[in-house]
Amino acid sequence: MSLNVQCVAPNGRKWTQPTGLFINNQWVKSSDGAKIASINPATAKEITSVYAGTEKDVDTAVKAARAALNDPSWRDLSGLDRGKMMNRLAQLIDDNKETLAVIETCDNGKPYLVSLNDDMTETAETIRYYSGFADKIFGQVIDTTTDKFAYTMRQPVGVCGQIIPWNFPLSMAAWKLGPALACGNAVVLKPAEQTPLSILFLANLIKEAGFPPGVVNIVNGHGAVAGAALASHMDVDKIAFTGSTATAKQIMKMASVNLKNITLETGGKSPLIVFDDADLEQAVEWAHIGIMYNQGQICTATSRILVHDKIYDRFVEAFKAQIKNVSKVGDPFDEETFQGPQVTQAQYERILSYVDVGTSEKATLTCGGKPFKGVGNGKGFFIEPTVFTDVSPKMRIYQEEVFGPFAVIARFKTEEEAVQMANDSEYGLGSALFTTNLTRAHRVAKRIEAGMVWINSSNDSDWRIPFGGVKQSGIGRELGEAGLDAYSSVKAVHVNMKSKL
Ligand code: ADP
């Protein structure tokens, strides 16, 4: 059955959009026929609607994945051939990157050039990077006594459920598919219901690359239905999730039904510390990117900016000027646009509600804080880049993740105070610090409670480098060689060479 519709982007580009559930390399309707509309956040208009999986559909997909795991065409495929298949997929992503970027921009709202140059590059390169690991996943030989030794092997974890967020739809799927496929697992992946379109398009490329039926199944659907069915399924061995901390807690509970292996990448309120010896221009440029890139919808966004008292006023003025000069809010297909719409009306309203919180907490609204209506039909979910100053650690806007173009700036007087303020958070994902003092840079990097530290930079991310959080920002690591640990389990084989006891 072909479940496709023809779509046209606002820039005139056309594409064929799959709308079904992808199970066993086939497109199927959901069992109850229900669909979810995908909305273009720049116009608030429907792009198309796609099928939403039920608990029954998730069960069908899990059975397909289990069968694939036991099928010789996948189970016995050599690492070398698995790697070649993944490499073909990476190439197909490159070959289709313009179409994929158009879809991503229509569905998510991020500027087209960001989709094309950042998200699509990361997607293809992550799959390509992990393709190289597929024939390099092996164990050790461990000598014990003259009569005995053991060897270890690294085997797939099994059926992996992967729950994807809406802020980087395709690249977050690649972060999870790459290591899972390199290690020989089978996958049931659930896109975020707000942004499923690019991942559904990817499904056809997975089939074209030669992956056997059932190795990758994609079931779009509501979190509370399809996501929950996956997290609580008795025959799913692992859940990998990226999204909010609140949802991660529910998933962790559900995953306990059969003691699933879990990796969780959750929320953040990452600090960015600017010491008085910092290169101010450099700090301002990165501080701006660190919170305003991707409409501020980044779990690692450095949304709490801590500035030394001596340079505070200069920093605030320069930061405001940077917003004025660089943060051009506009049509995501306009090449000049830095900031597109927020992903959904719900997110847009949530961010604006935090403007009220900040104002009622008596922080100073230094710029922004309002909807931006000057784009297209005036119905898109655009928000002015927003900055609160005179913020203190007790305030909700200092502690809570807003997930938008919303920065808070606070001041400190000593290094000790800066570290304390940085660590005064339930989260521990990213962190950045700006100083020209080498010793201080590494001393502070060691003390910050975070999974990642950027020295004189913010929000660098690279498929070769482990990514993840501490505290309530997550469990486990994705990317880099460390990302393989989450998708392989070590089996020890004990060998006795002595014939009698
Ligand atoms: P947001 O609140 O910003 O939409 P979530 O963390 O809730 O972010 O969503 C991230 C992903 O988790 C999405 O794919 C969503 O469908 C899924 N999800 C949401 N709620 C649940 C749930 N109760 N169980 C499993 N998955 C869920």
Ligand 1: which atom is nearest the Cα of residue 254?
24
Output the residue whose Cα is nearest ligand 1's atom 2.
244
At residue 161, the pLDDT reads: 99
Could you tell me if the CB of 248 is within 6 A of ligand 1?
Answer: no
User: How far is the C-alpha of 244 from the C-alpha of 242, rounded, in Å?
Assistant: 7
Output the residue whose Cα is nearest ligand 1's atom 19.
223
Q: Which two tokens stand for residue 284?
A: 């301002």
Which of 50, 162, 163, when mutated, tests ligand 1's pocket best, judged by the most ligand atoms within 8 Å of its CB? 163
Centre of ligand 1 from the C-alpha of residue 288, in Å: 28
Could you tell me if the CB of 55 is within 6 A of ligand 1?
Answer: no
Which of 198, 242, 247, when mutated, tests ligand 1's pocket best, judged by the most ligand atoms within 8 Å of its CB? 247
Centre of ligand 1 from the C-alpha of residue 195, in Å: 12
User: How far is the C-alpha of 319 from the C-alpha of 399, rounded, in Å?
Assistant: 21
Centre of ligand 1 from the C-alpha of residue 92, in Å: 29
Could you tell me if the CB of 247 is within 6 A of ligand 1?
Answer: yes
Q: Tens digit of pLDDT for each residue in 461-486?
A: 999 999 999 999 999 999 999 999 99
Where do the CATH 3.40.605.10 domains begin and end in the chain?
53-266+476-489
Give domain 53-266+476-489's CATH superfamily.
Answer: Aldehyde Dehydrogenase; Chain A, domain 1 (3.40.605.10)
Helix (H) or strand (E) holding 169: helix 169-182
Centre of ligand 1 from the C-alpha of residue 373, in Å: 29
Q: Which two tokens stand for residue 69?
A: 């795991």
What's the mean pLDDT in 74-85?
98
User: How far is the C-alpha of 396 from the C-alpha of 21, rounded, in Å?
Assistant: 40
Residue 256's contacts (CB-CB under 8 Å, 6 or more residues apart) are none
Query: Is residue 2's pLDDT more than 90?
Result: no
Q: Tens digit of pLDDT for each residue in 103-147?
A: 999 999 999 999 999 999 999 999 999 999 999 999 999 999 999
What's the mean pLDDT in 141-165?
98
Give domain 271-461's CATH superfamily.
Answer: Aldehyde Dehydrogenase; Chain A, domain 2 (3.40.309.10)
Residue 12's contacts (CB-CB under 8 Å, 6 or more residues apart) are none
At residue 501, the pLDDT reads: 84
Could you tell me if the CB of 169 is within 6 A of ligand 1?
Answer: no
Cα Rg of the chain (Å, integer): 24
At residue 177, the pLDDT reads: 98
Please pick, among 265, 401, 415, 478, the residue that the annotation labels catalytic: 265
Output the residue whose Cα is nearest ligand 1's atom 9.
243
Is 361 marked active-site?
Answer: no
Q: Tens digit of pLDDT for each residue in 398-453?
A: 999 999 999 999 999 999 999 999 999 999 999 999 999 999 999 999 999 999 99
Could you tell me if the CB of 282 is within 6 A of ligand 1?
Answer: no
Q: Tens digit of pLDDT for each residue in 300-313?
A: 999 999 999 999 99
Centre of ligand 1 from the C-alpha of residue 486, in Å: 21
Centre of ligand 1 from the C-alpha of residue 463, in Å: 24
Could you tell me if the CB of 251 is within 6 A of ligand 1?
Answer: yes
Q: Tens digit of pLDDT for each residue in 50-59?
A: 999 999 999 9
Query: Is residue 1's pLDDT more than 90?
Result: no
Centre of ligand 1 from the C-alpha of residue 36, in Å: 15
Q: How many CA atoms lie within 13 A of 69 on its CB side?
A: 22
Helices 169-182 and 197-209 cross at an angle (nearest 10°) of 30
Whether the CB-CB separation of 262 and 241 falls below 8 Å is answered with: yes
Whether the CB-CB separation of 48 and 132 falls below 8 Å is answered with: no
Q: Tens digit of pLDDT for each residue in 332-382?
A: 999 999 999 999 999 999 999 999 999 999 999 999 999 999 899 999 999
Residue 117's contacts (CB-CB under 8 Å, 6 or more residues apart) are none
End-to-end CA distance of the chain: 63
Could you tell me if the CB of 89 is within 6 A of ligand 1?
Answer: no
Centre of ligand 1 from the C-alpha of residue 227, in Å: 7
Query: Is residue 76's pLDDT more than 70?
Result: yes
Output the residue whose Cα is nearest ligand 1's atom 15.
223
* Of 289, 297, 307, 337, nearest in space to 460 by CA: 289
Could you tell me if the CB of 165 is within 6 A of ligand 1?
Answer: yes
Ligand 1: which atom is nearest the Cα of residue 190?
14
Q: Tens digit of pLDDT for each residue in 237-292?
A: 999 999 999 999 999 999 999 999 999 999 999 999 999 999 999 999 999 999 99
- Please state whether the predicted TM-score (pTM) of the whole model is above 0.95: yes
Where do the CATH 3.40.309.10 domains begin and end in the chain?
271-461
Could you tell me if the CB of 224 is within 6 A of ligand 1?
Answer: yes
